[in-house]
Structure 1
Amino acid sequence: MPGWVFIIVRSVIFLLLLFLTTKLLGKKQISELSFFEYVAGITIGSIAGEVVTGLESNMYHGALAIIVFGLITFLADYLSLKSKKFRDVMDGRGAVVIKDGKVLEDHLKKEKYTIDELSALLRQKDIFNIADVEYAVLEPRGNLSALLKRENRPLTPKDLQMKMSNEKEPQTVIMDGEVLLEALRSAEKSPGWLRTELEKLDVTLENVFIGQVDSYGVLTVDLYDDKINVPQPVQRPLLMAMLKKTHADLEVFSLATECEKSKKMYEKNAAIVQDIIDQLKPYLML
């Protein structure tokens, strides 16, 4: 048998052998490895490489083996995109290891994970009590996805029926003391506006390491000189405070007057201001 054919055959055989060995070892082999597993993986790969290439003196045989490994890997990736069945065989499927706060021991053993390793993965997600978990899946890549029970999830604005404004991508308008005009246009701001904002913060353009405009149009900067304290933006909190004071003043006026017509006017305007506060709260809250 010609040497190059021998190399191709051995490359295919040992690539399949390595794949089956890794599948047998389980998801841990591709997630966080222990020292022993790390050394074992390197050793297996080194042995396979030695056996595949055979004669170390023949550079072309080594290059051919690398090409074969690369082509087979490319073909596997291509077939994974085209076929779900092939993808399930190559990448595996997610395994449910916790359901309704209870560990599914059979699934855990099948994936060759111990309860200590599962607890460590949960702690990485700030989950310390297994009973708090509604559903946990050990993904094909070895990472854990966990869903807490509804009563253990943090409150969100949606839970409180609060309307929040849509967030836009922050635009970096200053970098290394230079203005990025394209980003400034994307933020719908002008160079004149930028100069005014820098004057408000009492900083010079040359001293700005990075400056960003958030979705509310507020400029924040980080300076080269970390000893300089940059004042935080206060426009939105001040506006909210003024609206609340106006609402409170109108309510006081309505209580202080004895004129029914004036009382109704103050109460009506107080209600209007309160409605404005409710609508602007998502935009003015920091």
Structure 2
Amino acid sequence: MNGFVEIILRSFLFIGLLFLTTKLVGKKQISQLTFFEYVSGITIGSIAGEAITGLEKNYLHGAAAVVLFGIVTILVDYLSLKSKYFRDVVEGKGTVLIKDGKILEENLKKERFTIDELSTLLREKNIFKVADVEFAILEPRGKVTALLKKENRPITPKDLQMKMANEKEPNTVIMDGNIIEEGLRASGKNRAWLYTELEKLSVTLDNVFFGQVDSFGEITVDIYDDKIQVPAPTQRPLLMASLKKAQADLEIFSLSTDCEKSKEMYKENAAIMQGLIDKLEPYLNG
């Protein structure tokens, strides 16, 4: 029994020691292992395992240590969910590296990050100028999250007050020349519709490597022969063009008639048609 007590004491001792060592190495160790750090981590783990278990004495000691490590890991996860303080101690907190376009040198030194390493992580996010960054933080897992200044962020449809259609994930209906029935059902289509659409594209099922149906009910395909150009779907643009033509015709009728009653009717319906076009434009813009 004394042997198991010793194993338990050793396990707790080295869990704490490895935890402190990892904290000292810093967040960079978690996400960016150099060759030396990788070898160092393996070596430290091996030494700790041998020191804990003393495998040459009793293999049961090793099994007890493994079980204990598993129990401690589960316990740490549980306590992390229950306590923010405990979670901050175990997982750490984010560290601000850039604020208002200025690098916080003290925080950079605290995390043992060089300016070259920070620049590399920013370039991976397509950020090449530190002055463009409003806020950048080093996350507990070693990732850098950056927020660009408002004037440097990409323009979105919301900035232009444009309405955009909501889209869902596309459904795969063809794979390796075979029809995927599950994807076809999920998209609300059937085989007859699929064959009709393939005929419109002038392709056969055997020639299709991959095919998907989007949330608008349009199919796009990738065929085996990459040299053959497959026409893009045109249903939505054609429908929008038809609606605009109908609206224009109504306005022309209102201008060409001498009957006041008919003129008002055409104008009213032209306005209704224009409202319909405005509502459908986000969905039919192709």
Answer whether contact 1:56 1:62 (CA < 8 A) is retained: no
In 1, the alpha carbon distance for the partners of 2:123 and 2:116 equals: 10
Amino acid at match of 1:28: K
Give SS of 1:98's match: strand
- 2:20 aligned partner: 20
**CA distance change for structure 1 residues 96 and 16 in 2, over 3 Å: closer, same or farther?**
same
- The match for 1:34 is 34
1:108 is displaced (CA, Å) by 1.8
Instruction: Give the aligned partner of residue 67 of structure 2.
Output: 67
| Aligned counterparts of 2:73 and 2:160: Cα–Cα separation in 1 | 50
TM-score, normalised by the number of residues in structure 2: 0.87
The residue aligned with 1:83 is: 83
What residue is the counterpart of 1:173 in the other structure? 173
- Does the C-alpha gap of structure 1 residues 267 and 152 become closer, same or farther in structure 2, counting only changes over 3 Å? farther
Shift of 1:183: 2.7
> In the TM superposition, what is the alpha-carbon distance from 1:141 to its structure 2 partner?
0.5
Range moving further from structure 2, 49-58 or 32-41 = 49-58
**Aligned-residue offset at 1:217:** 0.5
1:186 CA displacement: 2.1
- Report the secondary structure of 1:118's partner residue: helix
Residue 154 (structure 2) pairs with residue 145 (structure 1): no
Decide whether aligned partners of structure 1 residues 245 and 258 sit closer, same or farther in structure 2, where only a CA change above 3 A counts: closer
Name the residue aligned to 1:97.
Answer: 97
Name the amino acid aligned to 1:53. T
- Specify the code of the residue in structure 1 equivalent to 2:41: G
1:14 to 1:209, Cα distance in 2 relative to 1, 3 A: same
The aligned residue for residue 156 of structure 1 is 156
- Give 2:51's aligned residue: 51
Residue correspondences, number? 285
Map residues 179-258 of structure 1 onto 2, 5 A cutoff: 179-244=179-244
Q: CA RMSD in A?
A: 2.7
- Unmatched segments (≥5 aa) in structure 2: none
The aligned counterpart of 2:108 is 108
Deviation at 1:122, TM superposition (A): 0.8
Separation in structure 2 between the aligned mates of residue 199 and residue 57 of structure 1, nearest angstrom: 74
Aligned-partner Cα distance in 2 for 1:244–1:114: 59
Task: Map Cα deviations across residues 36-83 of structure 1 (whole Å, 9 max, x no partner).
Answer: 222222221122122112233633222222222111111111111121
Range that drifts further, 203-212 or 238-247: 238-247
Distance 2:78 2:205 in 1: 50
Percent of aligned pairs with the same residue? Answer: 68
What SS does structure 1 have at the residue aligned with 2:158? coil
Q: CA separation in 2, counterparts of 1:141 and 1:47?
A: 25
Alignment partner of 1:145: what SS? strand
Distance in 2, Cα, partners of 1:74 & 1:52: 19
Secondary structure at the aligned position of 1:126 is classed as coil
Q: Check whether the contact 1:53–1:61 (CA below 8 A) recurs between aligned residues.
A: yes
Q: Distance in 2 between matches of 1:108 and 1:209?
A: 50
Deviation larger for 264-273 or 160-169: 264-273
Q: Which residue of structure 1 aligns with residue 136 of structure 2?
A: 136
Q: Which residue in 2 is equivalent to 1:7? A: 7
Q: Are residues 59 and 203 of structure 1, via their aligned partners in 2, closer, same or farther at CA, if it must alter by over 3 Å?
A: farther
Structure 1 stretch displaced more, 46-55 or 89-98: 46-55
Give the whole-Å Cα distance in 2 for the aligned partners of 1:110 and 1:28: 12
Amino acid in the other structure paired with 1:231: P
Q: What is the alpha-carbon distance in structure 1 between the residues aligned to residue 110 and residue 251 of structure 2?
A: 67
CA deviations on 1:152-200 (whole Å, 9 max, x unpaired) are: 1111111111111111121122233333333322212222212211222
Cα distance, 1:149 vs structure 2: 0.8
Give distance in 2, aligned partners of 1:119 and 1:201.
47
Shift of 1:242: 4.3
Distance in 1 (alpha carbons) for counterparts of 2:129 and 2:264: 56
* Greater Cα shift, 276-285 or 75-84: 276-285
Asked if the contact 1:133/1:146 (under 8 Å) is kept, the reply is: yes
With over 3 angstroms needed to count, the CA separation of the structure-2 counterparts of 1:57 and 1:209, relative to structure 1, is farther
The gaps in structure 1 that reach 5 residues or longer are: none
Whole-angstrom distance in 2 between the partners of 1:56 and 1:224: 60
